């Protein structure tokens, strides 16, 4: 699963177009997303994933599309971008470009009126929905919702086989009452697991737990959610910036099943819903770095084996503890994944200003250029920001983010829910400016 010569060559070529120096994050150590992992040793981790997977119908398509007609209905109000594009822009034909709206009064309107439409999302927390301003801004500006914590394994299945839906249902029902689509986040992840799941061992136990969890969760939300982060963050590097020794992450899943846990999770999800969009999601794969190359090879292998994967979410946490990536770098990276016949999306964007590793000016440039890189590609289906206002950002309290109690200043709205200059730059990119 390492980068083959072709990938290295491709990366080298793409770097002549534009590589960011992602090495200046420097925060690689304590407190990053890599801080927790599964139990036990990594002894189970040598199995390979070649072959052995069923060729289920996934609709990932081939990479030879490229008729490139963009027939989206620019006037739809719920903005289901998934129905409106065609060619992948792959080896066959010309590259399609998304056309911006003529005018728009909100981010979501800019997304809905683009041709084809693009979803504009936010991570929503149950706590946030107790605040009137939060709810107002969230619904006025976004048409796509990811529950920030309420649909993770520890929240939904706190005890084996016993499910707790209340907090997740609240978010999903609120979203639907505001004409917002929901992405399920996340089915199989090493983090935010209940203790009982973390102490499972042996292939049979772990496989049964994965199956029960996916079937119950997808089953419960079946009529309300048709897009899922099936596997989250299965790869690590020495630094959370995505640099150094990329490899599969030790976890209760990997330790018991080897890397076939990925194929398994996607296959179970496909059995559960033949029409759902099934995504892989990860951080620090935004730049053209070691981790992005490794994940590219991993996903390419899955596509070639017929594993039912439909897309890849690039979290786009920019700044400490994660990678930095310029617009050209992101564009080249999204393109190579889209050319596998997959959807791509920006799934958790924020840009951390703590410790001034990203300057104010750099933050504005990143916001504009990265959003633009996704927006121009019809295969890029959504842009989700990881929160609404700075005061509630996860970065503020995350040690690897270097905030030391200060605000990360990472989002589009300040604590009074007023638009920041970051908002204006995102709006510019969505309007083709
Ligand atoms: O924003 C989430 C924060 O409230 C939680 O404490 C944290 C725990 O891991 O998870 C955060 O969300 C993560 C997301 O689910 C997956 N990608 C990284 C996000 C930021 O850590």
Per-residue pLDDT at 325: 97
Which of 33, 184, 251 has the most ligand 1 atoms within 8 A of CB, as the residue to mutate?
33
Helix, strand, coil content of the chain in percent (nearest 5): 40, 15, 45
Q: Which among 109, 148, 348, 379 is annotated as catalytic?
A: 348
Q: What is the largest CA-CA distance in the chain?
A: 57
C-alpha span between 299 and 245 (Å, rounded)? 18
Give the per-residue SS3 of 33-98.
Answer: HHHCCCCCCCHHHHCCCCCCCCCCCCCCCCCCCCCCCECCCCCCCCCCHHHCECCCCCCCCCCCCC
In whole angstroms, how far apart are CA 255 and each of 40, 179, 363? Answer: 7, 41, 39
Q: Is 3.10.129.10 the CATH classification of the domain at 35-430?
A: no
- Please state, rounded to an integer, the average pLDDT across all residues of the chain: 84
**Residues 60-71, mean pLDDT to the nearest whole number:** 32
The three-class DSSP label of residue 387 is coil
Helix 5-18 × helix 290-304 angle, to 10° = 130
Prior bond of 185 cis (ω within 30°): no
Q: Prior bond to 116 cis, omega within 30? A: yes
- Residue whose pair of structure tokens reads 């072959």 in the numeric block: 51
Q: Which of 109, 141, 233, 267 is catalytic?
A: 233
Nearest to 120 by CA among 141, 91, 104, 101: 141
Query: What atom of ligand 1 comes closest to residue 397's alpha carbon?
Result: 6
Helix (H) or strand (E) holding 343: strand 343-351
Q: Which residue has the tokens 């292998």?
A: 301
Is residue 207 scored above 70 in pLDDT? yes
Q: How is the chain split into domains, by residue range?
A: 35-430
pLDDT digits (tens, 9 = 90+) for 256-277: 999 999 999 999 999 999 999 9
Residues counted in the chain: 433
**Amino acid 254: pLDDT:** 98
Residue 215: per-residue pLDDT? 98
- Digit-coded pLDDT (tens) for 127-152: 999 999 999 999 999 999 999 999 99
Bridge pairing between strands 311-314 and 235-236: unpaired
Between CA 336 and CA 168 the distance in angstroms is 34
């Amino acid at each position: 699963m390492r980068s083959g010569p072709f990938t290295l060559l491709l990366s080298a070529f793409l770097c002549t177009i534009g590589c960011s120096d992602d090495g200046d994050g420097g925060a690689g150590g304590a407190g990053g997303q890599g801080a927790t992992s599964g139990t036990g040793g990594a002894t189970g981790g040598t199995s390979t994933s070649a072959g052995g997977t069923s060729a289920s119908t996934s609709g990932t398509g081939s990479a030879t599309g490229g008729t490139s007609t963009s027939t989206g209905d620019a006037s739809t109000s719920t903005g289901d971008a998934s129905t409106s594009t065609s060619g992948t822009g792959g080896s066959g034909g010309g590259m399609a470009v998304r056309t911006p709206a003529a005018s728009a009064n909100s981010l979501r309107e800019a997304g809905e009126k683009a041709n084809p439409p693009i979803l504009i999302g936010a991570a929503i927390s149950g706590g946030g929905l107790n605040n009137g301003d939060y709810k107002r801004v969230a619904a006025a500006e976004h048409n796509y919702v990811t529950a920030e914590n309420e649909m993770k394994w520890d929240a939904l299945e706190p005890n084996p086989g016993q499910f707790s839906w209340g907090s997740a249902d609240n978010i999903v029902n609120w979203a639907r009452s505001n004409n917002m689509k929901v992405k399920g986040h996340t089915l199989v992840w090493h983090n935010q697991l209940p203790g009982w799941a973390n102490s499972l061992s042996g292939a049979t136990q772990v496989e049964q737990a994965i199956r029960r969890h996916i079937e119950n969760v997808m089953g419960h939300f079946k009529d309300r959610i048709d897009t899922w982060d099936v596997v989250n963050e299965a790869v690590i590097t020495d630094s959370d910036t995505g640099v150094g020794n990329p490899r599969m992450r030790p976890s209760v899943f990997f330790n018991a099943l080897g890397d076939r846990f990925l194929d398994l999770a996607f296959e179970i999800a496909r059995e559960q819903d033949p029409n759902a969009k099934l995504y892989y999601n990860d951080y620090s794969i935004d730049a053209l770095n070691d981790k992005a190359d490794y994940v590219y090879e991993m996903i390419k292998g899955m596509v070639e084996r017929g594993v039912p994967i439909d897309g890849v979410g690039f979290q786009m946490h920019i700044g400490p503890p994660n990678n930095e990536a310029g617009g050209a770098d992101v564009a080249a990276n999204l393109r190579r994944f889209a050319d596998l016949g997959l959807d791509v999306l920006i799934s958790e964007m924020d840009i951390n200003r703590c410790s001034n590793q990203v300057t104010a000016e750099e933050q504005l440039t990143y916001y504009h250029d990265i959003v633009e890189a996704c927006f121009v590609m019809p295969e890029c289906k959504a842009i989700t920001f990881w929160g609404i206002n700075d005061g509630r950002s996860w970065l503020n309290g995350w040690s690897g983010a270097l905030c030391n109690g200060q605000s990360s200043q990472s989002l589009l709205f300040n604590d009074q829910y007023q638009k920041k200059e970051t908002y204006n730059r995102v709006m510019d990119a969505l309007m083709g400016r």
